[in-house]
Amino acid sequence: MADPRLGLNELEAVLAVARRASFRQAAIDLDVSTTALSNTIAKLEASLETRLFNRTTRSVSLTEAGALYLEQVGPALQDVRTALEAVRSHNAGPVGTLRINAFASAARATLMPLVLEFLQRYPHVHIDMVTEGRLVDIVAGGFDLGVRSANLVPSDMIVIPLGAPQRYAVVGTPEYFEQHGRPRTPADLLRHACIRIRLPNGAIYPWQFERAGEVTRLDVAGPLTLDESSVAKAAVQAGVGLGFFMEQDVRAEIEAGQIERVLEGWTPPLERLCLYYPNRRNPSAALKAFTALARANLAGKGEPG
């Protein structure tokens, strides 16, 4: 029988491949060659006498055994990381790596100011941030912290509100509105050219509106479907059609007069963005410092923690 004893490198390798669904991307994250990573996984599978990943020329996915392994090993590995960093930090202060999972717009406008302030205070800590649209289990994925809307945070997590409540914004150029008119209700959008956004799972994101308790979701139509908001914003600025964004992502362009907002009365504040993390018995010094800074910023704005 193969030796089942495992090292941290093997455990980290499984998490990285599962997280990226790609040996090449995982190898970059781990700073090893793709061949070396593939060999590590192959040796681990031989030791366990089971296959952890389904591999094709186009995709990598967890097997049922791999998913079970990740569910069990992910939290344990995080506990080991935390213990190691606690020892390193005993005399030196916060050190090590904090891994954060967030979606892109939250990372740009809300999280980065906090991260930059933290790095200025604690230069021996490395921040590893992954931005993605899909929801992930931050514990199984090996993350220390996550950032999501409050309604998407698991109930067993510790939560710290971040930033101001956000809103959606429907925007277009002045030239577009001069030529095509301005929509007065969400239903009017069905007669306009709209830039559609594709979610990571392949579905088209519906435009969502609410007023006086009336909720409307529209599958708009238009000449262009994209999967990245910055590209969609460029298309809107070029006059291709109307776009649907988080307000914070287009505020500068609105203030500069490059684009104009419509249907503002139909886009009330959304659920608050939150920083969240699991309740651990011995959190690392870096994690404690980061969450303390987040709470201090919240208190500085006169809000309860």
Contact 81, 253 (CB under 8 A): no
Contact 197, 232 (CB under 8 A): yes
Is 88 a residue whose pLDDT tops 70?
A: no
State the pLDDT confidence band at 217, using cuts at 50, 70 and 90.
very high
Is 303 a residue whose pLDDT tops 60?
A: no
Backbone angles phi, psi at 33, to 5 degrees: -75, 155
Buried b or exposed e, range 155-184, using 16+ CB within 10 angstroms: eebebbbbbeebebbbbbbeebbeeeeebe
Q: Which two tokens stand for residue 266?
A: 């139909």
State the pLDDT confidence band at 1, using cuts at 50, 70 and 90.
very low
Question: What is the Cα–Cα distance from 239 to 176, expressed in whole angstroms?
Answer: 6
Task: Delimit the CATH 3.40.190.290 region(s) of the chain.
Answer: 168-266
Reduced DSSP (H G I as helix, E B as strand, rest coil) percent helix, strand, coil of the chain, to 5: 45, 20, 35
Question: What is the Cα–Cα distance from 146 to 141, expressed in whole angstroms?
Answer: 11
State the pLDDT confidence band at 4, using cuts at 50, 70 and 90.
very low
Question: What is the Cα–Cα distance from 135 to 147, expressed in whole angstroms?
Answer: 10
The reported pLDDT for the residue numbered 157 is 94
pLDDT by residue (tens digit) across 41-62? Answer: 888 888 888 888 988 877 888 8
Of 9-13, 158-162, 215-219, the poorest mean pLDDT is in 9-13
Spatial CB neighbours of 205, under 8 Å, sequence gap ≥ 6: 196, 197, 198, 199, 244
Contact 265, 193 (CB under 8 A): no
Whose tokens are 């307000």? That residue is 247
Task: Delimit the CATH 3.40.190.10 region(s) of the chain.
Answer: 71-164+271-305
The topology (CATH level 3) of 1-62 is Arc Repressor Mutant, subunit A (1.10.10)
Higher pLDDT, 103 or 226: 226
Task: Delimit the CATH 1.10.10.10 region(s) of the chain.
Answer: 1-62
Question: What is the Cα–Cα distance from 191 to 183, expressed in whole angstroms?
Answer: 9
Higher pLDDT, 17 or 193: 193
Choosing among 3.90.1150.10, 2.40.50.100, 3.40.190.10, 3.30.1700.10, the CATH entry for 71-164+271-305 is 3.40.190.10
Burial class (CB in 10 A: 0-12, 13-18, 19+), 232: buried
Per the confidence metrics, is the pTM higher than 0.75?
A: no
Of 83-87, 93-97, 151-155, 275-279, the poorest mean pLDDT is in 83-87
Question: What is the Cα–Cα distance from 61 to 39, expressed in whole angstroms?
Answer: 17
Contact 52, 41 (CB under 8 A): yes
Residue 3 CA: distances (Å) to CA of 35, 53, 181, 259: 22, 20, 71, 63
Angle (nearest 5°) at CA 10 between 79 and 278: 25
pLDDT by residue (tens digit) across 168-182? Answer: 999 999 999 999 999
Q: What is the CATH number of domain 168-266?
A: 3.40.190.290
Is 6 a residue whose pLDDT tops 70?
A: no
The reported pLDDT for the residue numbered 2 is 42
The reported pLDDT for the residue numbered 92 is 57
Question: What is the Cα–Cα distance from 216 to 206, expressed in whole angstroms?
Answer: 9
Instruction: Detail the DSSP E strand segments found in the chain.
Output: 53-55, 60-62, 96-102, 125-131, 145-149, 158-162, 168-172, 195-197, 207-211, 214-218, 224-226, 243-246, 260-262, 273-277
Average pLDDT (251-263) is 95
State the pLDDT confidence band at 212, using cuts at 50, 70 and 90.
confident
